[in-house]
Amino acid sequence: MTLKRLQDMGAIITGGAGVLGAATAQAFLDAGARVVLADINEAALAHTSLSLRGAASAVATTRCDITEATDCERLVAFAEAFFGRSIDIFVANAGRPFAGPLVDASAHSIRQVIDTNVTGSIFCAQAALRSLKSSPRASLLFTASLQSTMGRADRSVYTASKHAIAGLVKSLALEMGPQGVRVNGIAPTLVDTPFLHQACEQAGLDGTAALEKAAQSLPLGHIVEPQDFAHAAVFLASQEARCITGHLLMLDCGSSAGKF
């Protein structure tokens, strides 16, 4: 019998059309939750929704541009109407990558990363917390990164944005703890996704070979799968983690332990 860690809980997941969002949605459904998936890409969102196993009545989707505060507020209101009450879980997963030397980056690309990863995450948190503080099992989760705690060449803007998430997790945990809301982040290293394979190929690399080389550089000898992220999200959102807040769960196969 499957342990229903999130039975009857209502969750919002942004970036729901992506691989991490889809894997987390499936894990939440399997754990007994109802889910609202949000993404700016409506076509991909609809495809993701159809791929999920479980009762169709347990899933709803809506478009959301997290860089617009009013969109984030509308998303939470939509979820409250779907659940018939306040939300219990919000996974701020939507994000935008950045790669390349800072000196070559356009102002537009820099603003896109900061607007999405930082400002968008703050808007999501603001809208979510107004509802979460009414839930007895409230949990706000952010998708952080290994770059939330470490630097990396040619990833400066992304690293800055994910360091901001680490600070947001800590500050909001202190701010919202007295109101019963737990705030945590999940910080993965490389995750095996189609996007990562495409990025390798665009750089002129063989995706499979590049990922194998990356895996060999990690102490555990493998990289992160989307299901690993999803399992971490279920745990942190469950009452098994009721004493955990202000924490970054390093899903990094040992890479933050030190130089390997």
Closest CA to 129 of 148, 116, 142: 142
Cα(169)–Cα(185) distance, integer angstroms? 7
Sequence-separated (6 or more) residues with CB below 8 Å from residue 175: none
Exactly one of 158, 161, 168, 247 is catalytic; which is it? 158
Rounded to 10 degrees, the C-alpha dihedral 23/26/27/32 comes to 160
Closest CA to 125 of 107, 139, 115: 139
The answer to whether 157 and 98 have CB atoms below 8 angstroms apart is yes
Say if residue 117 is exposed, middle or buried (CB neighbours under 10 Å; 0-12, 13-18, 19+).
buried
Cα(124)–Cα(69) distance, integer angstroms? 8
146: left (phi over 0), alpha (psi -120 to 50) or beta: alpha
Q: Is 255 a catalytic residue?
A: no
Cα(28)–Cα(234) distance, integer angstroms? 6
Phi, psi of 250 (to 5 degrees): -80, 105
Cα angle value 221/222/226 (rounded, 5°): 165
Q: Which residues are tagged catalytic?
A: 158
